[in-house]
Structure 1
Amino acid sequence: MDALTDLWARISQLAAPLPGSWLLGSVAAGLLLVLLPGTWHTVRHAVTVVHEGGHGLAAVLTGRRLTGIRLHSDTSGLTVSKGPRTGPGMIITLLAGYTAPAIAALGAAWLLSAGYAAGLLWALLLLLALMLVQIRNWFGLWVVVLGAALVVVVTFFASPTWQAVFGLVVTSVLGFGALRASLELQRSRRRSRSTASDADQLAGLTRVPGVVWVGVFVLVALACLLGGAGLLFPGALEAARSFA
């Protein structure tokens, strides 16, 4: 019981609000990691982990049997589940991939705005632990273990302030990364004319054009970014409303 009490105290620990300059700097750092070509390839692995985790969670929740997840060095991934090839379950599973990082970023922004930076880190550890048991290739194992090691170090050795900074950077990477990945999907579709993307598979199941599904991914990413900004910068949102 003492161990559980101590664990809950760690998870529910409240962090003091970051100064405005630190808040802006953390978000800007996450944005730069997504915008710069040299760093985008690296941090996109984090976006892919959440993307594939979204597929996996949706598959389980819709009654499909999750059989494994692979992460590749080119930042792509593959989640395999067994079940009907058509129907709502398959549609939801496909839809969950590109939308998962954006929704996760919105949830993370909510936790951070409430002061639960430590809680966010523990949620990340839980996600990575669940991913670990489903990984089916060595590179994917390396990505998940390295990510988990980084989160463990921050969780157990960083001060609450730096935990909040790290959480904000991760949140920004997921939020902006979800938008960039969705936009890149359309460019990739135009170049390769492949029918294997989530958008094209959704088009085959629903008869709604793939470009429309890409638009859905982009709109979800934008909506979650705006929602996250409203949570993290409530003063700026109120000022914008007053100006309007």
Structure 2
Amino acid sequence: MGEVLSQIWSRATASQPAPEPAIVAGIAVLALGLVLVPRAWTVTRHLVTISHEGGHALLAVLTGRRLVGIRLHADTSGVTLSRGKPTGLGMVAMLAAGYLAPAVAGLGAALLLAGGHSLALLWLAAGWLSLMLLQIRNAYGLLVLVLCGAAAGLASWYLPGTTVSLLAYLLTWLLLFAAPKPVLEQMAQRRRGAARGSDVDQLTRLTHVPALLWELLFLLANIAGLVVGFLVLLPIPLG
């Protein structure tokens, strides 16, 4: 067992060379297409939902709330339930974390890739999905997490380093490009009067800050994460 753990640690902490900038840019274009093309988005949006609900769950634990469970649905929606004080900073932080989580995760992934740790990124993804599995409370959510976690784990263990790097960059670009889109969808739903009971509605009720300001804050934060992530993954040469 000790030898296996040592091998896992050695693989997870090893550095992998970054792809050529042209390849990184090509992966970015592919990821953007997977976000913008409606049929592809119905699949890739699950990645955002996992990040969104994972953000809620993490902040619930960090703020001292009792995490009750997570549900992921076939329509790409999700819900995270926790128990604790229904008002206050902890509740606000937990609600706000959902729309910020994909961009934060994408930016963190970009920093790992900048350090040559594409394999570690996939291991971390598999580990985080495994932790979420302990809190999943519906069959569809269980299936999604098992498939995603198994894909990340098997890819990181069996695929060559070059392929692992390509997958890690694709995952990172997807998170960065996809992060602003649910906020735009939320804003569109609000214009149609179909956004009642959302995270933004709850934040408005708790803080008395208008929903539009919350939505603009989330949108600007996600765009900022995309810009910074872009500069990390494809730095602009000076001079």
The TM-score, its normalising length taken from structure 2, stands at 0.96
Deviation at 1:2, TM superposition (A): 2.6
Q: Is the 8 A contact 2:55 2:97 kept in 1?
A: yes
The corresponding residue for 1:98 is: 99
How do 1:10-29 and structure 2 match up within 5 A? 10-29=11-30
Q: 2:91 is matched by which residue type in structure 1?
A: M
Deviation at 1:160, TM superposition (A): 1.0
The corresponding residue for 2:165 is: 164
Q: 1:103 is matched by which residue type in structure 2?
A: V
Deviation at 1:7, TM superposition (A): 1.4
Q: 2:36 is matched by which residue type in structure 1?
A: L
How do 1:20-169 and structure 2 match up within 5 A? 20-169=21-170
Cα deviations by residue, 1:68-123 (Å, 9 ceiling, x for unpaired): 00001111100000001100010000000010000000000000111000000011
Deviation at 1:17, TM superposition (A): 1.9
In structure 2, C-alpha distance between the alignment counterparts of 1:131 and 1:180, rounded to whole Å: 23
In structure 2, C-alpha distance between the alignment counterparts of 1:7 and 1:118, rounded to whole Å: 11
Deviation at 1:193, TM superposition (A): 4.2
In structure 2, C-alpha distance between the alignment counterparts of 1:149 and 1:126, rounded to whole Å: 10
The corresponding residue for 1:215 is: 216
Q: Is the 8 A contact 2:203 2:209 kept in 1?
A: yes
Q: Is the 8 A contact 2:114 2:233 kept in 1?
A: yes
Partner SS state of residue 52, structure 1: helix
Q: Is the 8 A contact 2:53 2:98 kept in 1?
A: yes
Q: 2:7 is matched by which residue type in structure 1?
A: D
Q: Is the 8 A contact 2:25 2:234 kept in 1?
A: no
Cα deviations by residue, 1:191-231 (Å, 9 ceiling, x for unpaired): 13433111111010000001111111111111111111111
In structure 2, C-alpha distance between the alignment counterparts of 1:47 and 1:193, rounded to whole Å: 20
The TM-score, its normalising length taken from structure 1, stands at 0.95
In structure 2, C-alpha distance between the alignment counterparts of 1:193 and 1:76, rounded to whole Å: 14
Is 1:178 the counterpart of 2:184? The answer is: no
Q: 1:141 is matched by which residue type in structure 2?
A: L
In structure 2, C-alpha distance between the alignment counterparts of 1:182 and 1:193, rounded to whole Å: 14
Partner SS state of residue 68, structure 1: strand
How do 1:221-232 and structure 2 match up within 5 A? 221-232=222-233
Q: 1:15 is matched by which residue type in structure 2?
A: Q
* 1:8–1:195 CA distance, 2 compared to 1 (3 A): same
Partner SS state of residue 192, structure 1: coil
In structure 2, C-alpha distance between the alignment counterparts of 1:2 and 1:159, rounded to whole Å: 21
Q: 2:35 is matched by which residue type in structure 1?
A: V
Paired residues, what number? 238
In structure 2, C-alpha distance between the alignment counterparts of 1:158 and 1:23, rounded to whole Å: 19
Unaligned runs of 5+ in 2: none
Partner SS state of residue 86, structure 1: coil
Unaligned runs of 5+ in 1: none
RMSD, aligned CA:
1.1
Is 1:5 the counterpart of 2:6? The answer is: yes
Q: 1:183 is matched by which residue type in structure 2?
A: L
Moved over 4 A (4+): none
